[in-house]
Every structure is written in C-alpha cells, then in structure tokens.
Amino acid sequence: MRPLEQWDESDLDALVDSGVQESLTLDYKRSASLSKTDNNKKNEISKDVAAFANSAGGRIIYGIKEADQLPQAVDDGSDGTDITREWLEQIINSLIKPRIDGIIIKPILLKSQGWAFVVDIPQSQSFAPHQSSDKKYYKRYNFASVPMEDYEIRDVMRRSARGHPYVVFHLRTAEQIGQITEFIIDVSIGNRSDEPVLYSTIMILIDKLLVIDGETLPEMSITELAPKEINGRATTLVCFAQNWSVPAKMPLYKERAYAMGTMKLRASQSGLYVLGYTISCPGYSGNSVGTFTIHNGQIASHNPELRIFSTDVI
C-alpha cells in the first residue's frame, strides 16, 4: 500500500485496470482540463477543488480518460514545460477564497513524457465553506460539482463548532503466502474539529471476503449486513460496532488519535475489496466507504478519505 508521494504511472494503470469508479471523493479529468490560456478551464479547477473541500474532501486525478464515471485509460499527460505543479497550486490558491490549507499536488511523469497530476484535497474545517472564482459555493453530488443551497452553506459554516470524528486505517504488515495475502491494519479514531468529542458511535465495515473468523476486532459487536452491489460486485460487509464515550474512554481532541484495535485480514485472490466506516456524535454523522486492490501481495488504496496511509496512531 503506497503513499501518494510514491505514486507513479503504474498506480494510475491500477485504477484503470481495477475499474475504480468515480465517487463523492474521487474524480477523473483529462489532461486537457488544464490550460494556461483558457479561463473557463481555470474556473472549473477552482469550482471542483472548492467542492471537494466543502464536502468530504477527496482526490482529483488529471490525466485519466473516463466514460460513465469509469476510468478508460491514462492519456498522454500535460506538457511539463507549460503545466507544472507550481502553476496548478497558484491557480488553486488565487481563485478559491478563503484559501484551502493542506492540499497536496503530486506530479507523475508518464511514459509519453507528459505529466499527470493528482490533487488531494482535505475536507475543510475552520475556514469552510470556500468560494470558487465565480463567487459561488459548490459541493460534490452524484459525481459532479453543484451549487450549494443556503442551508448547506450555513451547515458547513458550523463545522468548527461541533465535533468531527474520523477513523484511520494504518497498514502495519502484509505477507504473501502462496496465493494468500495476509495483512494487519491498525484502527484508530481521531477528531478534525477544535470541539472535543465526548460520545461517538463507530461502525467499521469490512468486506466479508477478507474477514478471518474470531481474529478481527474481537471486542466489538459483529453484524453481517445484507449484500449490496459495489463496483459491479455483490458485496457482503461485516460490521464491527463500538461506542467511544467518557469516562471509560478519553475525550477525542483534535491534537491526537487513539488506537481502537487491530484487524487481521486475509485475501485468497487478487481483486478489488471494500473497507470503510460510519461514525456519529452529537451534531455530526458521516461515513467513508471505499475500495482498495490486492495484487501479488501488494495493496493499493484508491480512496484518500480512508486515510489508509496515516501513521498518527497513539
């Protein structure tokens, strides 16, 4: 499982080969969407990036052709003498108000000698919502950036005044044993808001094909959910539920994350698998369910909202 800073063209190819669909937190754009001379395209960049920050955060990949929300191929990329990370960063910072903190831009050199760009956008907290260059506020909805209603704008403005818990998945080890891939993921819980969280309900959702009986988060209550089609496959998720509350547990402060437990998982074949969580506390409820691929013992996440590369576990 590779952090974004280690990505190369093979990671883009893996998205295409696995057919990872666009979602609330993932968007594919052709390289032609980046232009120094076309103001409409610059405005679209600001609209799309602001919409992710105003919603759940996510990832925009410039350099992949898509059709019906599915990736088709990596294109030839942008001319590196014209389109650069510095230029894209300047466009984002100058056209979106207020400025979004924490954006990461990863340029990827392609075999064609062109460049693809991956833009990771955090969900904004203290300075949300963010206005695009057309002086409007946008959100992500049904694979698109759409204008926000007045009540949605007001709701986003209240983010910093309420708790916002989240879950971190951190890959510790992965081992290939014949055709079997075994791996261990540590699970922790944190809070993005300045407002402490005293009570929270968490449900960890794991693809049933990965679960080893009795060895995954054994202290949580376990429920098997009804099959649901995810990325073209009827998927059964196993739900591990737990309450996080004082005084038995520490309040969740913004400054740290706390360990919840460890998942020992096993995949019998290469493929696309599902992992995620739902979480709620007074004044907030959210979820993050995404996919990752396992191929020849290598694990790659395609959903930045899962924070699957994080190491801030205490």
Give me the CATH topology for the region 4-160.
Answer: 3.30.950
Token code pair at residue 218: 């054994």
pLDDT at site 129? 92
Q: Is 285 exposed, middle or buried (0-12, 13-18, 19+ CB in 10 A)?
A: exposed
Contacts of residue 162, Cβ cutoff 8 Å, sequence gap at least 6 = 193, 195, 282, 283, 284
Token code pair at residue 108: 């990827």
What Å distances lie between residue 279 and 167, 190, 191, 261, 304, CA to CA? Answer: 8, 11, 11, 16, 17
pLDDT at site 185? 87
pLDDT at site 310? 33
Strand ranges (E), 63-156: 64-67, 70-74, 104-109, 115-121, 138-141, 144-147
- Where are the domains positioned within the chain? 4-160, 162-306
State how far Cα 70 lies from the chain centre: 17
pLDDT at site 95? 96
pLDDT at site 302? 59
- pLDDT-above-70 percentage for the chain: 94
* CATH superfamily of the 162-306 domain: Immunoglobulins (2.60.40.10)
pTM, 2 dp: 0.68
pLDDT at site 303? 59
pLDDT at site 115? 97
User: How far is the C-alpha of 25 from the C-alpha of 31, rounded, in Å?
Assistant: 19
pLDDT at site 312? 32
pLDDT at site 304? 54
pLDDT at site 2? 66
Q: Which of 235, 237, 231 is CA-nearest to residue 211? A: 237
Instruction: Give the type of residue at 38.
Output: D
- pLDDT under 50: residue ranges of the chain: 1, 308-314
